[in-house]
Amino acid sequence: MNGPEGNTRRHFIKNAVTGVATISLGGILPGFSAKSYASIIGANDRIRVAMMGVNARGLALADNFSQQPNCEISYVCDVDSRAADKCMAVVEKNQHKRPKAEPDFRRALEKKEVDALVVAAPDHWHAPAAILASKAGKHVYLEKPCSHNPNEGEILLAAVAKYKNVIQMGNQRRSYPNIVAAIKELHAGIIGRPYFAKTWYNNNRPSIGIGKETAVPDWLNFDLWQGPAPRVAYKDNFLHYNWHWFWHWGTGEALNNGTHMVDLARWGLGVDYPTKVTSAGGRYRYKDDWQTPDTQVMTIEFGDKATITWEGRSCNGRNIEGSNVGVIFYGESGSLQIGAGNGYTVYDLNNKLIKEVKNDVNIVAGSLTNPSQSLDALHINNFFDAIKKGTTLRSDILSGHKSTLLVQLGNIAQRSGSTLEIDPENGHILNNREAMKYWKRTYQKGWEPTV
């Protein structure tokens, strides 16, 4: 948002926080519920949001954002008219005001009243949409991964450096209070110097079958859904979730779920860019259209300092250490484990439990869309505070890019069948022409992201 109107509105949003805090502490006017009261405070003390991609995870985010009293969802943007209608009904119920439907999110970015874009569309849209929002002067809440490929991640970094907007990546565990405490204890030496982190995710996903070319459904704008990706014919097994397993749009289980735990591992070990990356695995379980690995083990080395591994099993749900998702840090004097929820355990070298902080919030570990709504709200409000008050982001885009890149490098090692030697200063692949074919992608003409 530019010009005097935009500057005035930003100033108001920043300074309205004190007034809102006073109201919340002083109580609610007689006869009004908290939600009703929030709806009459006035629009200018709330951040106005456009939601992009609201079929599954995006619907959960819209539900969560619209329950925050300092937020108003003004536009719902989805290429699936059915998903948009469902989302608008949920949002209207929460905020007592129906958002407008704008199938093309680019039109919503033209609206002066919109402060931020929430991007929950497929992976191939993440960085391009965030870059367009940055150019439009909007802040961005960007679901993981922050990019489809490393080159896009670097363009995204250039965009935020140029346009100075707030971009928060949606690796929400960075805001879980007990997880924050666990990492703090790790850094304080509770297990001595940590040097190895094992991360994992497992599930029992069914086959996606062999897709058939068919007419595009009348509820879907498939051209806009493809957006920056080169055009392909529509098949009946692409939408809505199976795109994850096609390299053309998705990034596999590694970035779908691995990003979360690899991010915690990188944070806990205090590392940035690696020195060597390898990967082994494949599509083993079914013979179908699924392209990305359903079984994969990555090894990410950081010189003589530390190593991270990630094990992904999409089609065998046997848990590791009692959880389908997690990270274990191994150190000089013990280990620290973080599972699916907001808790952690610490063991000594003899496997004796020396500390347990139990999960205090219900986590639906198998949920594809909304496993931890109340905890995710903490991450959302950190995003709002960064916009309003300049609060430090818990997952700024540089941090998000570094963690995303680790897993992208694992996929590149997998696809190129090679060991990647990496420049630890910037994460770039060294002396490997075959691997560099996967550093960037081709785009539909006219859709190339630029700063």
- Tens digit of each residue's pLDDT (9 = 90 or more) over 18-41: 333 322 233 333 333 444 434 443
Residue 59 maps to which CATH number?
A: 3.40.50.720
Q: Are 290 and 346 found together in one domain?
A: yes
Q: Is residue 291 part of a domain?
A: yes
The answer, yes or no, to whether residue 398 has pLDDT greater than 50, is: yes
**pLDDT over 90 percentage in the chain:** 86
The answer, yes or no, to whether residue 210 has pLDDT greater than 90, is: yes
220 Cβ contact partners less than 8 Å away, ≥ 6 residues apart: 79, 80, 81, 239
Q: What is the structure's pLDDT at 383?
A: 98
279 is in which domain, residue-wise? 176-364+397-436
Of the listed ranges 119-123, 125-129, 371-375, the least confidently predicted one is: 371-375
Q: What is the structure's pLDDT at 55?
A: 94
Q: Is residue 387 part of a domain?
A: no
Q: Are 205 and 167 found together in one domain?
A: no
Q: Is residue 447 part of a domain?
A: no
Residue 261 maps to which CATH number?
A: 3.30.360.10
Of 118, 150, 173, the residue at which a domain comes to its end is 173
Q: What is the structure's pLDDT at 371?
A: 52
Q: Are 21 and 114 found together in one domain?
A: yes
Q: Are 327 and 285 found together in one domain?
A: yes
Q: What is the structure's pLDDT at 364?
A: 53
Of the listed ranges 2-16, 289-303, 364-378, the least confidently predicted one is: 2-16
User: What pTM did the predictor assign?
Assistant: 0.89
The number of distinct structural domains making up the chain is: 2
**pLDDT one-digit tens code per residue, 214-253:** 999 999 999 999 999 999 999 999 999 999 999 999 999 9
Q: Are 113 and 189 found together in one domain?
A: no
The answer, yes or no, to whether residue 368 has pLDDT greater than 50, is: no
Q: What is the structure's pLDDT at 372?
A: 72
**pLDDT over 70 percentage in the chain:** 88
Q: What is the structure's pLDDT at 216?
A: 98
Of 136, 153, 173, the residue at which a domain comes to its end is 173
**pLDDT one-digit tens code per residue, 68-95:** 999 999 999 999 999 999 999 999 999 9
Of 151, 173, 195, the residue at which a domain comes to its end is 173
Confidence of residue 13 (pLDDT cuts 50, 70, 90): very low
Confidence of residue 146 (pLDDT cuts 50, 70, 90): very high
